[in-house]
Homo-oligomer: A and B are copies of this chain.
Amino acid sequence: MPTRRLDERAIIAMIRHMQNPPPAGYLGIGDDAAFVPGDSRGWLISQDMLVENTHFRWDWAEPEQVGRKAAEVNLSDIAAMGGTPVAALTSLALPPDTPFERVERLYRGLTEAFWTHGVVVLGGDTVGTRGAFVLDVTVIGFPSEQGAICRHGIQPGDRIFVTGSLGLSYAGYQLLEHQSRWPGTSPEEARALSAHLEPKARVALGQALAPHVRTMTDVSDGLWAEVQDLMSDSGFGAEIWLDTLPILEDTRLVAARFDASPVNWALFGGEDYELMMTVPLEHVRALRQKAEGHGANVAEIGVITPAAGIRWLDHGQAVTVEGEGFNHFAH
């Protein structure tokens, strides 16, 4: 599904300005997860809501897939802080015609995904609704030994890296929009649909890379939006090398089918749940080694610049990237 952006920002700004800033040492609104200091490392806490027909469709996904995805997108927020997830709460709003079996299968997916990461569901809420099915998940966890790795705090000269590949989730979304159904009819369809319906949070990789990064975030809203966010209020800028974006052949094959640009999918598609990080030059080698040790690809896609603004380069040529976030709130 397309990711949200515009109205969410206004609401977040409103909430942020309505209250006093959080006490010193707390990490509040605006990062992947919040941080509350405690006796030793303190706690990360994150909450992500999935709504029927906004984030998923029952005719597109098995209930287990919806449950797994709800777990993984929350785990991804903890991963983006370099953290270790520990426990979860889930809230469920159920329309009256919801089959019990659907809820059971959803929780089978959700608890299995959490179990893989040692996370136990400790509670939550279950309510009725005359509206859409809603699943809201909260995950708490420990930050990395380096503390909570924030989204902000970039420094000029730092290299920008991204894990895995970008755009494949959106390829899956496009296939679903055009009547393909999981598991698809070709290997690239299967992998694209799986990327969209069954994303995997980069928890172990986030922990491994944490000692070598200055900032980290997950790429849930598309690279374009995440890069904008990275800059905010820093006074610095970035150069992004579009020709270095990690885009799989699968993504290119599906994009070609729709006569679409795979680079645009990487920039604006969203829901890849990869990690984007800025890395001091002297850590680049160690970062690459750690990623390799985890069997993961990391791509160097740009650099933080002292001058504000974002320059998009394609094989060294400046190009215009006109971004607009997708909007969940539109009719």
- Chain A residues packing against B (C-beta within 8 Å): 4, 7-8, 10-12, 14-15, 18-20, 22-23, 26-31, 33-36, 38-40, 43, 45-55, 86-87, 89-96, 98, 100, 103-104, 107-108, 111, 114-115, 120-134, 136, 138, 140, 327-331
CA distance A7 to B111 in the complex (A): 20
Q: Taking CB as reference atom, which chain B residue is nearest A103?
A: B11
Instruction: Say how far A7's CB is from chain B's closest CB, in angstroms.
Output: 8
Q: Determine the chain B residues whose CB is within 8 A of the CB of A49 once the complex forms.
A: 91-93, 125, 127, 134, 136
Please tell me how many copies of the chain the complex holds: 2
Contact B130 A27 (CB under 8 A): no
Q: Report how far A263 CA is from B233 CA in the complex, Å.
A: 59
Asked if B120 contacts A26 (CB within 8 A), the reply is yes
* Complex: A327 Cα to B94 Cα, angstroms: 12
Contact call A122/B55, Cβ cutoff below 8 A: no
Q: Is the CB of B111 within 8 A of A328?
A: no
Q: Is there contact, CB below 8 Å, between B92 and A11?
A: yes
Known interface pairs A35-B122, A93-B132, A131-B131; 13 further A-B residue pairs with C-beta atoms within 8 A, sorted by A's residue number: A11-B103, A15-B90, A27-B122, A29-B122, A31-B123, A34-B122, A36-B87, A45-B89, A51-B93, A54-B130, A55-B127, A129-B131, A130-B132
Contacts of A34 in B (CB 8 A): 87, 89, 122-123
* 30 contacting pairs across A/B (C-beta < 8 A): A4-B126, A11-B100, A14-B100, A15-B107, A18-B107, A19-B111, A26-B122, A34-B87, A35-B122, A36-B140, A38-B38, A39-B39, A43-B43, A45-B45, A45-B122, A45-B123, A45-B140, A47-B123, A48-B91, A49-B125, A51-B129, A55-B127, A93-B132, A96-B331, A125-B136, A128-B330, A129-B134, A131-B131, A134-B134, A134-B136
A328 contacts B4, C-beta separation under 8 Å: no
Q: Is the CB of A4 within 8 A of B115?
A: no
- List residues of chain B with CB within 8 A of the CB of A23: 120
Instruction: List residues of chain B with CB within 8 A of the CB of A107.
Output: 14-15, 18
CB-based contact A138/B45 at 8 Å: yes
Asked if A123 and B55 sit within 8 Å, CB to CB, the answer is no
* Residues of chain B contacted by A31 (CB below 8 angstroms): 123
